[in-house]
Structure 1
Amino acid sequence: MNAAGTYVYGIVARGHRMPAELRGVGTPQAALEVLPVGETAAVVSAAPVPLRARRRDLLAHQEVLLTLALDGPVLPMRFGMVAPDADAVLEQLETGQERNLRALDRLAGRVEMNVKALPATGALAALVAEEPRIRQLREAAHRHPGYEANVRLGEAVVHTLERRAADAAQEVQPELEALAVARSTGPHVDGTVLNMSFLVDREDVVAFRAAVDRLSAGYRDRVELRVAGPLPCYSFAEPEVATAAAMRTEG
């Protein structure tokens, strides 16, 4: 490892298969190493200098995690986790081994699916038909056109679209939860009314996607649902990963 530190991708069970062709972040892409302690191991590489959140490195980081997850559970680190050196990683693996083993067991055979809900676009006809207040403001703007009338109508449309989308998102959520082992609410994303991740058995991914598509079609006048995944289980692993405490986030 170089003086910049040890870049950590995630934690796996000892003996987890490491594809020989897999490479990490940096230019050229760094060779990966496995640091085992007891029944767990960390997948690491030399930290590139400088470390930046460039698209190719973000994709390389995620590709490592997704590839590893094909052969067993992985506790993923967010992009940019760097330990001072390999010894720091080994020390934290030892300290957090019991928690990490529990987390690995919980994630075995499971993936993360993320669902974002956005206000429906192109649904003005449904909005006018179903929302008396919008209909009144639209008629008023037609009778007495002007800047203020247009502003009132525009603001009411935006607010109502967001409310209808939020209500619809709450209605569809229980059906998605029924297909998942756990759920986690993510940070707010501009333009969305819901950002939620679901821990899903790998064998249920197709059914989960089909449910999102069906619900999105059924509620198309109120909400647009976008699904991403399978993803590394960021939302369901980090609280268990003691190793992260000894690292700094860069990039």
Structure 2
Amino acid sequence: MAVYVYSIVATSHPLLLEGVDGVGDPPATLRAVYAGELSAVVSDAPQELRPKRRDLGAHQAVQERLMADGTVLPLQFGFTATGDEAVRTVLEERADEFSERLRALEDCAEYHLKAAQDEDALLRQILREDDEARELNEQITSGSTNPELPLALGELVAQEVQARQDRLATAVVEALRTFAREEVLSRPSGNDFVSVSFLVDRDHEDGFRTAEKDLVDELGSDFDLRLRGPLPAYSFV
């Protein structure tokens, strides 16, 4: 029977999973597959597995319970194998790799930060600080009928927005990376100019959160910073 794989831990992990349900309806019972110094937390896989809220929540609950008692390599939602023996084979074949990542993630949690700047405030800033953009805008607002002016202003503003957001993203990451073992940048979406995950040592979490709050104060009300964590270290597996 197919099995659903939640995460990989050291065999020494206490695996205190009483009261935690697996995915599926009815919820599957959790169990461990052992291979030397590694274990995988699994359950029987439901016949139809979709990213429904209940199953996503169950997957996350397993990671959080395991995190509370030791280091975890959390797998993304939806990972399945053909059976326990297939899981054991993977654990054996990739034992060195998994063991190395467990050591790298020891006593750490993931924090994910996204940041956006108010578009109107950014546009006002560009028109105030960029001489060329300001001149083009003044010509347009003074009644010029030259059709090239709006196009030129639009291109200039787009380039300036990208340049400024790239600099902001770099500054945000640099302000926080001192407290992190590792970082992973992902492509921002929507109005965000940065989307980054940090692997933060437990001993540095207070300093990391304080630095993020200082950054919020420094950037001001035109910026929206959203910090999530501590999270299972999905981005660093």
TM above 0.5, yes or no, is yes
Partner of 1:10: 7
Partner of 1:75: 73
1:133 aligns to 2:158 (yes or no): no
Structure 2's unaligned 5+ residue stretches are: none
CA positional deviation for 1:147: 11
CA positional deviation for 1:222: 7.6
Q: Which amino acid aligns with 1:230?
A: P
d(CA) in 2 for partners of 1:160, 1:96: 47
Contact kept? 2:113, 2:225, Cα under 8 Å: yes
Partner of 1:43: 41
Structure 1 segment 142-153 matched on structure 2, within 5 A? 142-144=141-143, 153=153
1:182 aligns to 2:179 (yes or no): no
1:114 aligns to 2:148 (yes or no): no
CA positional deviation for 1:174: 1.9
SS at match of 1:113: strand
Distance 1:187 1:127, change over 3 A: closer
SS at match of 1:176: helix
Partner of 1:98: 96
Q: Which amino acid aligns with 2:140?
A: A
Distance 1:160 1:46, change over 3 A: same
Structure 1's unaligned 5+ residue stretches are: 238-251
Contact kept? 1:115, 1:227, Cα under 8 Å: yes
SS at match of 2:196: strand
Distance 1:133 1:120, change over 3 A: farther
d(CA) in 2 for partners of 1:193, 1:77: 27
Contact kept? 2:3, 2:83, Cα under 8 Å: yes
Deviation string 1:168-196 (CA, Å, 9 cap, x unpaired) is 11123222111111112224534433322
Contact kept? 1:118, 1:165, Cα under 8 Å: no
Q: Which amino acid aligns with 2:229?
A: G
Contact kept? 1:119, 1:161, Cα under 8 Å: no
Q: Which amino acid aligns with 2:200?
A: V
Structure 1 segment 13-32 matched on structure 2, within 5 A? 13-14=10-11, 15-32=13-30
Partner of 1:201: 201
Contact kept? 1:168, 1:219, Cα under 8 Å: no
d(CA) in 1 for partners of 2:84, 2:105: 25
Bigger drift between 143-152 and 107-116 goes to: 143-152
Task: Output the TM-score relative to the length of structure 2.
Answer: 0.86
Deviation string 1:203-229 (CA, Å, 9 cap, x unpaired) is 322321222232233234885433222
Distance 1:17 1:152, change over 3 A: same
d(CA) in 2 for partners of 1:134, 1:233: 43
SS at match of 1:160: helix
Partner of 1:84: 82
Q: Which amino acid aligns with 2:75?
A: M
Partner of 2:53: 55
- More contact order relative to length (CA 8 Å, sep ≥ 6): 1
CA RMSD after TM alignment: 2.6
Distance 1:184 1:154, change over 3 A: same
Q: Which amino acid aligns with 2:132?
A: R
SS at match of 2:40: strand
1:165 aligns to 2:162 (yes or no): no
